[in-house]
Structure 1
């Protein structure tokens, strides 16, 4: 994938969403009228808690080309290796011929190989987060949709993960504005709360820096 910090005049559109929205259970809009066009690089989405930034990531259904990594992976039975085996059985990934080794990716981030054999429930939040991210990266999706991907990591681990992810194409939700400035290659959008009379809006294009 394209290095988001390199100059390129031939960047192509990887992701496009038009007029998307999500309603609360009471019928009011969490956000609406969202238009989003993403080119090679890293787009960061910021905003206060509760305005629907993670929900922006859950809307796209372009599942064979886009992979969503939630902030917290649901508790599951078995080990990280079992989790990897399940993900590889998903219909959208069965046709893939090659994968990177997620164990090696995670090792570069400080996750010991033996932890892949441990019960998922015994792993720390940071270990779960890095393993989930490593699995996502290993599939070579066109775009990674990331919800607070480093929230459970210490500074050293965070820096290592950021360095890897900045080489990929990502839509990255974060409440950390300093992180947004570090990793974004061409755009940061700030979400605000919205209802029927005052919808939130996200509109723009991510471009490589000159």
Structure 2
């Protein structure tokens, strides 16, 4: 969870960050400071939102510019340790083969930690009764909550949420949004949420950053 000693420092800073995909520019000279709390990255398809999100924990690297987490250049950090601190929840859930409990315990087990899945599941809106169910047999909405619980089991400083409700129906989407809104209050975890829905940005975030054509818009 967030480190109290770093509470006064920016979460992420991006300075003159540019990135491309397949030779085509995706981000163009982005300067951005993300403070602890909940921030939405809002914009149309192709604006560069998901690319920016992936740069934050080095699932991709920029062509130029610098990115820091609490003042540390992310390139100086072990990528696996960085991804435990800044944990991505993907747009489409992709549970590991096996039970829900196995999915939740998997990440911590890689660093020698044993985790009771009950608390992460509860924070993600699932009861402990789900623990021994096969993750692959759950509904898409339930699988997305398993992805969230899997991330929370790592006790990250920040959740990187890439269109976390885009694959869900309206009723399920509202439930997942309510869970995400509660997380910041209950755990203090920061969130960076990619969305194309301004209403969702307003519901989940205290700050909205608009992107268009790879640049900060306004």
* TM-based fold match above 0.5: yes
Q: Unaligned stretches of 5+ in structure 1?
A: 3-9, 194-199, 205-210
1:54 to 50, 57, 62: 50
Call closer, same or farther: CA 1:203–1:178 in 2, change over 3 Å.
Answer: closer
**1:63 corresponding residue in structure 2:** 83
Give 2:151's match in structure 1, choosing from 110, 115, 136. 136
* CA–CA distance in structure 2, aligned partners of residues 144 and 14 of structure 1: 12
Give the counterpart of 2:205 among 180, 184, 187. Answer: 184
Q: Which runs of 5+ in 2 are unaligned?
A: 59-81
Indicate conservation of the 8 Å contact 1:22/1:32, yes or no. yes
Of 103, 115, 122, which aligns to 2:121? 103
Paired with 1:191 and 1:135, the residues of 2 have a C-alpha distance of: 29
The alpha-carbon deviation at position 63 of structure 1 amounts to 2.4
Work out the CA distance in 2 between the residues paired with 1:59 and 1:121: 29
Judging by fraction of residues, say which structure has more helix.
2
Identify the residue that residue 41 of structure 1 maps to in structure 2.
37
- 1:112 match: 127
| 1:64 Cα offset (Å) | 4.0
Map residues 1-210 of structure 1 onto 2, 5 A cutoff.
11-25=8-22, 27-60=23-56, 61=58, 62-91=82-111, 94=112, 101-106=119-124, 109=125, 111-151=126-166, 152=168, 153-165=172-184, 167-185=188-206, 187-193=207-213, 200-202=214-216
Q: Is the deviation greater in 172-181 or in 52-61? A: 52-61
Question: 2:119 and 2:127 mapped to 1: Cα distance?
Answer: 14
CA RMSD, aligned part only?
2.9
Cα distance between partner residues in 1 of 2:24 and 2:83: 28
- State the TM-score, normalized to the length of structure 2: 0.71
Aligned residues: 184
Inter-partner Cα distance in structure 1 for 2:12 and 2:116: 23
In 2, are the aligned partners of 1:34 and 1:203 still within 8 Å (CA)? no
How far, CA to CA, are the matches of 2:141 and 2:108 in structure 1?
22
Of structures 1 and 2, the one with the larger relative CO (CA 8 A, separation 6+) is 1
Aligned counterparts of 2:180 and 2:192: Cα–Cα separation in 1: 15
| 165 and 70 in structure 1: CA distance in 2 versus 1, 3 angstrom threshold | farther
C-alpha distance 13-203 of structure 1, shift in aligned 2 (>3 A): farther
SS of 1:30's equivalent?
strand
**What corresponds to 1:207 in structure 2?**
none
Q: Which is strand-richer, 1 or 2?
A: 2
Contact 2:210 2:217 (8 Å CA) reproduced: no
